[in-house]
Chains A and B, each alone.
Chain A
Amino acid sequence: MTDSTESPDLQRRSGLTRLKEGTYGGFFAACAAITLLTTVAIIATLLSDAVMFFAEVPIREFLFSTSWSPNPRGGGQTFGIVALVIGTLTVTITAAFVALPVGTLTAIYLSEYATSNARSILKPLLEILAGIPTVVYGYFALVYVTPALKATLFPEMSTFNALSASLMVGIMTIPMVSSISEDAMSAVPDDLRQAGYGLGATKFEVSTGIVVPASISGIASSYILAVSRAIGETMIVVVAMGAQARMPTVGETVLGIPYINPADVLLESGMTITVAMVQIAGGDLTGGTIPYDAMFALGLTLFVVTFVMNVLSDIIAERYREEY
């Protein structure tokens, strides 16, 4: 102990120590800033080339023209996104038919029925589904799923088709739905379940009548994220769906209402927004051409759509977090 009568030295410390502290703090802050810069760079990169694209191709044509042919042999490029949107929607909707019900049921099983032992085995196994490289899924779809479907259910299926690709996208997105939905279901307070049992409800009635409605915003948010993931999925569709931008034939038979025969889009090849981007990238990367810029216009479209969906999902998820 000091016996000196002077007041203790509490001054800010020497330059070197402060410099050291400042250097580390500054370094960490700079690294954190890189994440912000990444977003800025993505937007800037996409916008700068997309603007050049829209200088050449009017936005109207891009949004409403039904023909996509960026590199035709005989000339006469057309850049209409409609056919690509139809391809993307086909994949997304079909995948959603697989992932959403399966994912939701999985979440209910994990949160309400599974023993902790079963959960500790099932959850990592489900995570594997999301960890398999997508190019491998694409290969599976092309080489195993399509021939299997062709041999059994759909003999008229073409080698590259939307259905097998969509099934694989669906399987890949199951864990997204199940894990986020399960979190939401586990967050439902046990009081609510007890109240249900107290009224003589069965486990089934409690699960479907109380837990699911109570966690509905979490489930919805997981759906949006899964769909957003399916929209941006690239390699599965590139490998298994082919690269033909097709407009399906619209029939007008049912009471004069236009409709599209699902087999017409599902069993045939098609092209999604992501496939179109990959296709251009396979040919021309040096920049300055319209197809090159078109790639960024497509990227911008994809970015905006997925960004909006993520924000939406955030807002919805925020609501369920506030409820409990």
Chain B
Amino acid sequence: MATDTDTGRVEGFGEVSRVRGIAFEYLSLGASVFGIFALAVLLVYVTIDAFDLANASPEWLLTYFLTLVVPFLGFCLYSARDRALTRRAVTVAGGGLVAVAVVFTLVETFVGQIPRLNWQLAYLFAVGIPLTGYLTYMGARGQPGSVGFGLVGRLIGGTAVGLALTVLFLVFDPRLWFLAYTLGVVPATLAYGYGYVREVPTAMTAVIPIGIVGTLGAVLLRPIVDTYPTTVFVYLWTLAIPVAVAGALVVAARGGRTTALAAGGVPLAVATAVGLGGQLAGLAVGGPNALVVLAVAGVPTAVYLHRVFDVGEGVIGLGLPVLLAVGALAGALVVETFGIPAPNPWVSETFLTEAPSRTASEAGLYPAIVGSVIIIAMVAVLSFVLGVATSVFLEEYTADSGVVGALTRLLQINIANLAAIPSVVYGLLGLGLFANLLGFGFGTAVTVSLTLSLLILPITIISAQEAIRSVPDDLRRGSDAMGATRWQTTKNIVLPEAFPGILTGTILALGRAIGETAPLIMVGAATTVFSPPSSLFSKFSAMPMQIYAWANFPQAEFRYGVVAAGVITLLVILIGMNGTAILLRNRAERGS
């Protein structure tokens, strides 16, 4: 070809316009963050309302920023041990301050006042919270940080579980539990322990029958026996001691006998002392509930402390709770001493511990929180058992072809369809079947729990199936080839491997149940109850029901105050549950 002439040379390939492409990329990016951004703005406003931040003085914000936030960020940066990160954090915090102030002033000058937002709050939400979140994440990757957060998490989580346990005894008879525990749970556990240590399989097989017989015996004996120990001793015997023993066993598996005794015994002794002493001295603190909370929060904390000291890394992180407590106290002290005007948050101790009221300042969420806790506990048990059993059946006990295969496909399609049925229709099922036909009553805990269990069952099943499916087939075949029966393979190989995934899925599904409102209205749950329920068949309310009721109140104090506080409480509980689920999943993924 004519390569020697100039005409044959390629001068360039020209350019294809990318403008449309780039515009499209940013458009789609904008779409991706649109919903998230809208929700974030709404959450900012509801937070401002719930904590009355619009009335927070700059001095107040500054005080807590200095006493609480700065030390915490310092802790995170110390834990991350990354100079570049520290530099970046300081730049963002400082530069963000300037940027927010400038943008905010410009908007206020040229566009108009932004309601209930000043530049301090804008800085807090646009820079402060994201930065804190990011640094917390980075800090948690360092040794002291992970130790510190682990400790704080156990303290908060243990307290929450302890409180939830005491709430459950509002509707469940502690005396029946005492009998069932003594006659059923203890002998069954002993049988299991004996079988495990001495390797006697028959003792292990007998565990379930022993438990059932003991529980039935308890139910029969409950009306006959009429002397019981006081509640404090019931809680001590049935809750605090087993938790302490379990903690001691965990430590004993790692370390010596003395430390094990200490890890179980010290929190138990403290809890007993406070629980009994408080009651004897007639103090406000103490009593049976304090006993349970201290034991349930204390034992895991002690076990964790033992582990941290055992490993010996990042021990300094254990100071985090102290740092936070001192910071909060110091802030309060400064605010008190200098008379700094403080906001008057709607989310307060009264709000969490009082009954609803027509006066906004006295309104509380307590009965609704109790209702939600009880419902969630029952839904958790029901949907976990049904969900795991169904998914095990679908994944392990069925075939792909033939009649069984057809039946399996039918079940599978049916479950997918159930997941898409509107929740209000489940409400009708609960109303027609549980409340009217079976007579469990309108809006009782039983009716509500059964309805919600069926509602989240398909979600639980689908996620449990995914978890079970992710167990490699190699392991199943290995177990089968050893001559394991189907149940043995399921119990020994499949379920232990799939368990973290199943647990995560169940907790996420429970998050759905805790926010459901429509089915509760349909089965006649009360919008407002003034005292916590006293039995499984008394009138119930739940947090979303109470929010729904309050949202209808015309007064601004309710609309912008009380409901906001209710929403924040609900969301915090939801985030706590989902966060736990995600932590569990991440941990399982790292472990395997």
Contacts and interface: CB of A to CB of B under 8 A. Distances in A.
Do any beta carbons of A and B sit within 8 angstroms of each other in the complex? Answer: yes
Interface of A: 17, 20-21, 24-25, 27-32, 34-36, 38-39, 41-42, 45-46, 48-49, 101-103, 105-106, 108-110, 113-114, 122, 124-126, 128-129, 131-136, 138-140, 142-145, 171, 174-175, 178, 200, 202-205, 207-208, 225, 228-229, 231-235, 238-239, 274, 277-278, 281-282, 285-287, 295-296, 299, 302-303, 306-307, 310-311, 314
Nearest to B519: A234
Nearest to A228: B420
Interface string B24-42: 1101111111111011001
A174 B35 contact: yes
Contacts of A274: 422, 424, 518
Contacts of B31: 101-103, 105-106, 109
Given A34-B390, A278-B518, A135 B28 contact: no
Given A105-B28, A106-B31, A131-B512, A140 B414 contact: no
Contact of A202 (B21, B410, B567): B21
Given A35-B458, A109-B32, A277 B424 contact: yes
B487 A133 contact: no
B455 to A, nearest CB: 10
Contact of A299 (B386, B425, B544): B425
14 contacts: A31-B385, A32-B393, A45-B433, A113-B29, A135-B547, A202-B21, A204-B20, A234-B422, A234-B423, A235-B518, A278-B424, A281-B524, A282-B521, A287-B436
A136 B457 contact: no
Nearest to A313: B420
Contacts of B560: 143
B155 interface: no
B39 A171 contact: yes
Interface in B354-406: 385-386, 389-390, 392-394, 397
B397 A136 contact: no
B522 to A, nearest CB: 5
A20 B487 contact: yes
Contacts, number: 248
Contact of B518 (A46, A234, A314): A234
Interface string B413-434: 1111110111111111101110
B39 A132 contact: yes
B422 A29 contact: no
Nearest to A35: B415
Interface in B483-538: 485-487, 490, 508, 511-512, 514-518, 521-524
A125 B45 contact: no
B457 A32 contact: no
Given A29-B393, A106-B32, A231-B422, 17 more contacts: A31-B393, A32-B393, A49-B432, A102-B31, A109-B25, A110-B32, A124-B582, A136-B515, A138-B548, A139-B567, A174-B35, A238-B518, A274-B424, A281-B431, A282-B521, A302-B425, A310-B420
B466 to A, nearest CB: 14
B212 to A, nearest CB: 13
B381 to A, nearest CB: 13
Contacts of B486: 21, 25
B435 interface: yes
A24 B413 contact: no
Given A25-B486, A25-B487, A136-B570, A232 B425 contact: yes
Contacts of B385: 31
B454 interface: yes
A82 to B, nearest CB: 20
B58 to A, nearest CB: 24
A123 B433 CA distance: 38
B518 A28 contact: no
Contacts of A29: 393, 397
Given A35-B458, A41-B429, A133 B517 contact: yes
Contact of B487 (A21, A36, A140, A287): A21
Contacts of B429: 38, 41-42, 45
Nearest to B38: A171
B68 interface: no
A36 B559 CA distance: 43
A147 to B, nearest CB: 9
Interface in B54-88: none
Contacts of A102: 31, 34-35
A43 B536 CA distance: 28
A129 B424 contact: no
Contact of B574 (A49, A105, A131, A232): A131
A28 B418 contact: no
Interface string B555-585: 0000110010001001100100010001000
Interface string B210-242: 000000000000000000000000000000000
Contacts of B34: 102, 174
Contacts of A20: 205, 487
B164 interface: no
Contact of A131 (B390, B392, B578): B578
B430 to A, nearest CB: 9
B551 A138 contact: yes
B418 A38 contact: yes
Given A134-B515, A203-B21, A303 B425 contact: yes
Contact of A32 (B389, B416, B454): B389
Contact of A136 (B36, B433, B547): B547
A42 B423 CA distance: 12
A306 B522 CA distance: 19
Nearest to A48: B432
Given A208-B24, A285-B435, A144 B45 contact: yes
A46 B421 CA distance: 13
Contacts of A282: 521
A51 B487 CA distance: 45
B16 interface: yes
Contacts of A203: 21, 25
